[in-house]
Amino acid sequence: MKEDRDLLFLQQAKNEDLKVLVDILTHDTDGEVRISERLTNTDAYLYCYPNCLNRMWKEIAGELQRFGGNTLMNLYRGKGVAYREIVEDVCRKMNVFFYDWEDTVTLEKRLLEKICHEVVAQMSENELRNLVGQLNIKSKKTQKYMFVFALQAAIKKGGVLFTRLALYITQIISRMLLGRGLSFLGANAISRVLGGPVGWAITIGWSVADLASPAYRVTIPAVLQVSCMRMHQFNKE
């Protein structure tokens, strides 16, 4: 891997969460090994997958950096880019505004905020009511617009409530891609409360970006995964 301070935290990440990231990098939505991946043939993968992934965090980071090249030509050439460049590229793809001088964590937060706002806006009144109740968000009125307002306020404020909401949405994307999601505290509970329509709403938006380039099928969910892993690690409940 290239020296990359933005990915150093992976060495302290939970094994099960690293496994989700590894599976995003190495397998497609049908569970087949990606043609362009190089991780599964390494000695590190053979010895460490699936139970000791912290020992190969550098190899995982390096594979993510390599997928940062947005063309198949770059993938086969093996060129890697810094994680910061990957985040910037994903933000541009998802129409997330950012300043060049902002740090990587801020860009990740902007990306998660945008996705959360868009998903909340598409939820039904019943889904919103269930989510507000699950997150213990106080809302004086029960109309849909008030639920939306309460959730958007939680997103803007950040903290535990925003973390839980972002984790839930990332779990939906992980389940859509891999058939399973993250194991963060609160994510599974929220998933049981909300139903499929939210997942379908995300699927619609995902498909547009997904068709643009094979690399985006990896970098978009991978960046969301890394963003949530970092947020959860440094903002523990």
Q: How far is it, in rounded angstroms, from Cα 207 to Cα 209?
A: 6
Q: Which residues contact 115 (CB under 8 A, 6 or more apart)?
A: 94, 166, 169, 202, 224
Q: What pLDDT is stored for residue 186 in this prediction?
A: 47
- Total domain count for the chain? 1
User: Does residue 220 surpass a pLDDT of 80?
Assistant: yes
Domain of residue 102, residue span: 5-234
DSSP letters spanning 70-95: -SHHHHHHT----HHHHHHHHHHHTT
> Which range among 4-8, 171-175, 231-235 shows the weakest confidence by mean pLDDT?
171-175
Confidence band, pLDDT 50/70/90 cuts, at residue 179: low
- Report phi then psi at 51, rounded to 5: -105, -10
Position 109 scores a pLDDT of 93
φ, ψ for residue 156 (rounded to 5)? -65, -40
52 φ, ψ to 5°? Answer: -130, 50
Paired residues of 27 in beta bridges: 33
As a whole number of angstroms, the distance between CA 100 and CA 96 comes to 12
The predicted-structure confidence for 83-123, as pLDDT tens digits, reads as follows 999 999 999 888 899 999 999 999 999 999 988 888 888 77
Of 46, 52, 24, the C-alpha closest to 37 is: 24
Of the spans 44-58, 162-176, 204-218, which averages the highest pLDDT?
44-58
Distance of alpha carbon 235 from its chain centroid, rounded? 16
